[in-house]
Amino acid sequence: MFTPELLTFGETMALMMPVSGKGLEYSSELYSLFGGAESNVAIGVARLGHRAGWFGRLGKDPLGRMILKRIRGEGVDVSHAELDAQAATGLMMREVIMGKTSVYYYRKNSAASLTRPEHLDESYIAQAKMIHITGITPALSESCKEAAFEAIRLARKNGVKISFDPNLRLKLWSIEQARPVLLEMAKEADVFLPGLDELKLLYQTEDWETIVAKLRELRAVSIVKGGDNETYIVDKDSITAVPYFKVEHVVDTVGAGDGFCAGFLVGLLKGYSYPEAVRIGNLVGSMVIQTEGDWEGIPSWEQVEAVLLDVKHIER
């Protein structure tokens, strides 16, 4: 076991997708994959050359064992993940019809939804440089919400930096339920990673200047994803826009945000400035959407450098 630089925790689910371009209702064959925002980020950080750990709860069932092996196989520390014999691994199913993605969740009473604050190991959290938390975890159950805030408390107590991506999921809870919880979590973060559409819902305004004023009330540096052609860095004194990387052919947009987070957080771990780290995040996100799957398209650091340095690919 190694000491992770970055930790994250939350629910990772089995993922089923049609083999063909048909909808789920008419497909007789499905891919068996897995995904979860937090483990996606951990895998991305590991692929990009830094030490990452993911902890969470899975069912002690074939899907849970498959997920645990695959995450471990990507070089992520899973020494504090648990297999629960009393509950099942969560499941999501996804289809793309006429270019529109639909996700269906089967995660009520899953092993992850039963996570409680006492499942957290303070000593494990304390030795990390940073913990990445998302707003998905508190949406799963009251005990998960308590665990998310306990992780924040333990990180703050031990001087561990907190990265927070709200990852608003309106299939899990309403905006009225989510708003006070996510805004409270944002207040505790050192880095806040919202999408622009999420901010409009959380702050109940379409006005950019009002949103910026709200962000400047936070202690965090805010990295706002989802601008027309750029990502914005909002701090107390300035707004910096970092352009996207152009993509010729988009295959699957799911996982772009997690890829961005992984690239950005690795940039911070490398000691880059915020604009430099955001540029890495933008690049990784652009590479992820050129491959099907939640995390499969996350590149290695060598691949990132090849793009940055314009290294020509030798096919044969």
Residues that are catalytic: 258
Helices 196-203 & 208-215 angle (0-180, nearest 10): 80
Residue that has been written with the tokens 């299939």 in this structure? 171
Neighbours of 163 (CB within 10 A): 24
What is the spatial distance between Cα 150 and Cα 152, in angstroms, rounded to a whole number? 5
CA dist., res. 261 & res. 193, Å (int): 8
222 forms beta bridges with 192, 234
Say if CB 9 and CB 137 are below 8 A apart: yes
Tally of CA atoms within 13 A in the half-sphere of 43 that contains its CB: 26
State how far the alpha carbon of 306 is from the alpha carbons of 163, 175, 300, in Å. 27, 41, 10
